Amino acid sequence: MDVAPLTADAGPVAPGAGDAEERPRGRRLRLVAWAAGAVAILGAVALTAWELAAARVPQHRAALEALIREHTGLDVGFRELTVRWGWYGPEAVFHRVVLGEPGGGGVLLRAPRLVVGLDTWRMLRSGELAVARITLVEPDIDLGTGAALRPGAHRPQAAHDSVLAAGARLLSRWRGGRIELEGGTLHWPMPGALPLTVGVQHAQLRRLAELWDADVQLLLPASLGESLHLSVQMRGDPAEPHAMSGSLGFDGRRLEFGGWRQVIRDPGAERYLPGGGLGNLELHAEFADGRLLRADGKVLAEGLAWRGPAVAAESLGIGRLRGDWQLARRGEAWRLEAHALESGERAPAAVSASVDVASDAESAQGRVESVPLPLLAAVARSFAPQLPLGQLSLEGVAHELSFDWNARRPAGERLRTSARLEELSIASLSHELTLTGLTAQLSGVDARLTLDLHGERAQLHAVRAEPVSLEGLVVAARFALAAEHGGWQLRTDELAISRPDLALAASGTLAADGTGGKPRVAAHIALKQADAVLIAKLLGPGALAALGAASAAQLSTGRIENADLEWRGTVDPARAPWSAAGSVFRGAFELRDASLGGLDPWPQLEHLDAHLEWRGPRVHAAIAAGQAGTFTLAGASAEWDALGERPTHLAARLTASAQPALAWLRAHRELAAYAPGIEDLDLRGDTRLDVDVLVPAAAGGSSTRANHAPRPRTRINAVLDGVQLRAVAGLPPIDALHGTLGFAGGHLQPSQLSGQWLGGPVALSVAERRDSGATALTIAGRGLAETRQALLAAGASDDAMLEGHAEWTALLTLLPGSEGSGLRWRVRADSNLIGVASRLPEPFAKSESVPLPLRVELQAGADTGQLRLALGERLRATVALHRSGELWRIERGAVHLASTAPSLPEEPVLTLEGRMSRLDLPALLALWRQAARDAALPALRARLSAAQLAVGARTYDEVSVTAEAAPGGATLELESEGLAGSASWPATVDDAHPALVHLSRLDAPQLGDGARSAGLAAALGPAARLSIDALEWQGRSLGSLAAQLTFRSDGFDVGEARLAGENEDSHGSLHCQDGGACRAEFGIDSRDAAATLAAFGFRPEVAASRARLTGELEWPQAASPSLATLAGSLHMRLERGVTRTAAAAEGGVPLALLTVPALTAGMRAENRDGVLPALGFSRLTADFELRDGQAMVDLHFDGDAEILVRGRTGLLAHDYDEQAWILRGEQRLPAAVRRLGPTPKVAAVWLSLRELFAGSADRTRAALRLRGTWEEPMVTSAD
């Protein structure tokens, strides 16, 4: 600390304050000064002592050597000696130290440094050197040097004892104090092998007279483990171990237990040490006078394995072990207790054990609780390896396991055991079969055990392709197991397993001698009321295969009423149970309502009732009833040999439906050899089959039959009674077919059949014949066909256009395909059509008595075919076919309406050419669009001409049609004198991609005929855009028409309809709902009202520079739009015009809704020229309500006179019933009312108000009534 004096620059100091601060500061300075002085004095003393000791080191060297030799009892050698001041005082450091037995007995220890700590206090008191501690730094200790000096050390046990004796001798010579080891290695000698090298992490040894205290921390070699901590506290001389007392602590981490067997060479302890395993072991032992008093510890290990005590015994393994244990003396006996033991086996509770062993080891008793059964079985296998426990997997827990061993009992009765087994499960080693839910009581004397097995709700599980479980089993059994003379025997006289649908009883013996041969069995099993499927699944396919392939089929349903099995012989899973000499394997069972399949290629058997019995490999089955697929089994018998050394014979009578039977036959082409050709027929109906099959035994028996399967000899008779035959796909079937088809030796016998086809009788001949080097099936037919039935079969309507009967002949030939190809077939059919009358148009019209030869030839293979058709001299067609899946597609072809046969086009297209007398245009459009979408057709091209074209009720003469169709869409063009146009549509017609219909001109005699164009568009799809360049009606040109048509499933819409005329523009829309009404909205704007009236067929009785008509009309959709069905409203407005009464000679009909011309005509106000005067107007407005053929009129005429009209106009009756007011001068409506709205309703309100408030003198206006017909109107006074 630095102290600075006060100066004048510090400023004034308050009185008294400086003195209070100065006194504590002075005291602190004095304390610091005293402490510094004391430290300096001690340092000087220590430095003086250090200098004196260092100066006298050479004088004390011999004394230090003698001091070490006296304390350790060992000779010491070193290269250098230094002195230093250590933490506890002065220390002498010996460098490169060597310690050995006195007298040159060998080097025990080498260390780079040995530090001797001197006891300063004792040295000051006695004046002599005194050792406080000895520290060895990184010593290398070889315990083999001292052990090698002992006699007999070359033997393993002697070497082990000599190492321990050498260590005890070294410790005994040590006088006391403390020795520490910092690091280093320890070499433990191993007889016949390299020494073990142990790393010393830290070690400390203290001795005070007879009291010893040691603590050692070691790093073990890999063969022994990871680390070891030893602690010892004892009293006595190590050279006299029988007189020592104290305690020992052992804590090993990750010990390799197998390696310690080489370190601990005690034969008594070696049998208890595991031969393998890894884990932690803690041990604390107390001993007195060289005898062990008690011990306890903990263990946590895995992979433990002990060598079995018996010769050739399996090792005893424990996957995982954890727990606490205690060993203590009880009088002259020992008691070992283990609590909370946990092994690798699954157990509901920890294992606890208590074992009492006499001091002379002549008797032992013990009790173990909650032992896992796998562990108990492993112990049993290690003591009795001949037992077949290795073939079983046992699970469960042993409770109250007790044993009592006494060497004083007679041989064979020294060991008595008992246990109660719970949660017991027994399984095969592969766990294919597992029986759970059992309890058992075990008792035994030496190698003889008795097991009483019980289960009230046991379960049996079988691992198969489809797992099987049997639950709710009641099990009761007693087994006796004996293991003597290297063999074993398992016997039971009472084994019973049952549940409501199963009862099994068994007895027998299974035994093996000590020679290593196969076990022998003598067993009897009885089974009743069992589910056959469960039994078959439990036994597995291997057990069923023992009865031969005929029985190895998959069983899906069935019940075993009773079964009996007897087996005596050798058990060899690799061989059949009857194969050994002297073996007996026989049995029988009754099978009811079973389903049996898998006898490939034969169909599955269902509802089977059979009795089956066997003796060795010979099996016989008698079948009372059953169902084989679609075949009903009326009776059958079968015999076969499981080894294939004898023929297999099957005889059966079956009834079946022909169609599913043939479908099954087609799915099993390998059976075609039994009934060749029949699989290619399409038969439907009931039939009966008598089948007899004999399969000769294979040469060499079962060993060669897989490679040299003999061909079966079969005879099959198929009796047809009322079945149906479909000879060729697409043709109508032959009904009510009767006859018999016979097959023998793999050949179809000639057979005659009869039936009905197309409403007439038919006779068939079925046979085999050689065709082009192959065996072909031929069906020749002759019959009489009814035309009406033929039309219906072809999908045509029964419209009586064809009628009569025709004879026909045909020949169908079915040829087997070459290798890699399918069936080939040919059909040729002929008819002269005599007896058939046709009212069809040309070229198909004919009378009943006129012959018209018809020939159809069709030949096809697996994928391709060709069709040729000829109809007299009128039509020829040639078509190439290609098969796609189950459908035939036209690849290319040509149709000529002529007598010359067309040739096939090169490109994939179907052409149609010729001339027709009549052609229906909407039907042609619909047909062409449908053909374009047909995937079975290629691209289409047509070039036709017709004498007459029909569009609804209208016909056009001499029309030519050209059309094309492809997957992307189609087009059609037509040309005639009164109709010309085209149509096109995409592949998919919708609102975004509509069909287009364009007509250059259309002459519609009636205005409603314009809807025919909508019919044309409807044939093209759900959306179409219609355009007509020139629409004419009754010789009058209406202009051009454009409209968007949308056809829905429940109606249609017409939108964006516009008609552009010379003097007017019209627009509108239409919405029609099926079963509902049609609603139309429209508007007409005219620039010349008279011309517009004349264009639409009305008399030009009104002329106006501007006219507008709007309306909303509605009529029932089911009815045609007519005046009788119309309902709705119309609004008319005309400006700056004139009305006049046109003469009838001018043509047209009067527009009765205008009223004013009729009013003036009824008044007969003729001028001097005999012509009714014209009335000019500035505005004419009118509203009309249409309903039930009547129009309610509300009209206002504002011109030379003001005329108000209200009333009714009969649209159907063509008459008037209206009232009119003619206002002139002051009677006209005021200007204010006109500005308010010059409508008829406003004018009528104003007149009513004026009549109400005016006097009688003011009521001078004229009120008229208009009556009469449209042609003869009459006007009278309303008064």
Number of H helices, E strands in the chain: 17, 67
C-beta separation of 336 from 355 below 8 A = yes
Report the half-sphere exposure of 662 (CA within 13 A, side-chain side).
20
Residue 1008 scores a pLDDT above 60: no
Residues 1250 and 1123 placed together within one structural domain of the fold: yes
**Which residues, including other chains, have CB under 8 Å from residue 1229's CB and lie 6 or more apart?**
1202, 1223, 1238, 1243, 1246
**What range defines the domain where residue 937 resides?**
915-1060
Residue linked to tokens 């690798």: 344
Domain boundary pick from 1033, 1060, 1087? 1060
Would residue 956 count as lying in a domain?
yes
Residue 22 scores a pLDDT above 60: no
CA atoms of 131 and 71, how far apart (whole Å): 9
Higher-confidence residue: 18 or 283? Answer: 283
Higher-confidence residue: 672 or 773? Answer: 773
CA atoms of 935 and 976, how far apart (whole Å): 32
Would residue 1047 count as lying in a domain?
yes
Residues 1076 and 1052 placed together within one structural domain of the fold: no
Would residue 223 count as lying in a domain?
no
CA atoms of 142 and 974, how far apart (whole Å): 122
Give per-residue pLDDT as tens, 412-429. Answer: 888 889 999 888 888 887
CA atoms of 112 and 97, how far apart (whole Å): 6
Residues 1117 and 974 placed together within one structural domain of the fold: no
Residue 705 scores a pLDDT above 60: no
Comparing CA positions, the residue from 417, 421, 404 lying closest to residue 447 is 417
C-beta separation of 487 from 513 below 8 A = yes
Q: What is the pLDDT of residue 104?
A: 65
| Helix or strand run (H / E) with residue 1028 | strand 1023-1033
Domain boundary pick from 1045, 1060, 1075? 1060
Residues 1016 and 1129 placed together within one structural domain of the fold: no
CA atoms of 1043 and 446, how far apart (whole Å): 110
* Residue 531: Cβ within 10 Å count: 17
Residues 1116 and 1225 placed together within one structural domain of the fold: yes
Residues 1080 and 1198 placed together within one structural domain of the fold: yes
Q: Token pair of 447, please?
A: 């190698």
Q: What is the pLDDT of residue 569?
A: 86
Residue 18: pLDDT band (50, 70, 90) is: very low
Mean pLDDT of 690-703: 71
- Domain total in the chain: 2
Would residue 639 count as lying in a domain?
no
Q: Where are the beta strands (DSSP E) in 171-244?
A: 177-182, 185-190, 193-208, 211-219, 227-235
Would residue 809 count as lying in a domain?
no
Residues 999 and 1088 placed together within one structural domain of the fold: no
- CA torsion through residues 1236, 1239, 1241, 1247, sign: positive
C-beta separation of 492 from 505 below 8 A = no
Residues 1072 and 962 placed together within one structural domain of the fold: no
Least confident piece of the model among 515-519, 670-674, 694-698, 829-833: 670-674
Mean model confidence pLDDT for the chain: 79
Q: For the chain, how many residues are written? A: 1279
Residues 1033 and 1090 placed together within one structural domain of the fold: no
C-beta separation of 181 from 140 below 8 A = no
Q: What is the pLDDT of residue 1112?
A: 92
Q: For 875, left (φ over 0), alpha (ψ -120 to 50), or beta? A: beta
Would residue 473 count as lying in a domain?
no
Specify the DSSP class assigned to residue 966. Answer: E
Q: What is the pLDDT of residue 616?
A: 82
Domain boundary pick from 1007, 1036, 1060? 1060
Residue 727 scores a pLDDT above 80: no
What DSSP string runs through 671-728?
GTTTSTTGGGSEEESEEEEEEEEEEPPPTTGGGTTTTSPPPPEEEEEEEEEEEEEE-S
Residue 152: pLDDT band (50, 70, 90) is: very low
Q: What is the pLDDT of residue 51?
A: 53
Residues 1155 and 1177 placed together within one structural domain of the fold: yes
Classified as helix, coil or strand, 1221 is strand
Least confident piece of the model among 287-291, 781-785, 1145-1149: 1145-1149
Classified as helix, coil or strand, 460 is strand
**Which residues, including other chains, have CB under 8 Å from residue 83's CB and lie 6 or more apart?**
50, 53, 54, 57, 90, 91, 92, 93
Residue linked to tokens 């012959």: 851
Would residue 1015 count as lying in a domain?
yes
Q: What is the pLDDT of residue 892?
A: 92
Mean pLDDT of 821-836: 84
Residues 1046 and 1135 placed together within one structural domain of the fold: no
Instruction: Give percent of the chain with pLDDT exceeding 90.
Output: 10
Residue 284 scores a pLDDT above 90: yes
Least confident piece of the model among 316-320, 678-682, 884-888, 1143-1147: 1143-1147
Helices 1011-1018 and 921-933 meet at what angle, rounded to 10? 20
Least confident piece of the model among 465-474, 794-803, 1023-1032: 794-803
Residues 1045 and 1079 placed together within one structural domain of the fold: no
CA atoms of 1125 and 1123, how far apart (whole Å): 6
Q: What is the pLDDT of residue 623?
A: 86
**Which residues, including other chains, have CB under 8 Å from residue 930's CB and lie 6 or more apart?**
none
Would residue 475 count as lying in a domain?
no
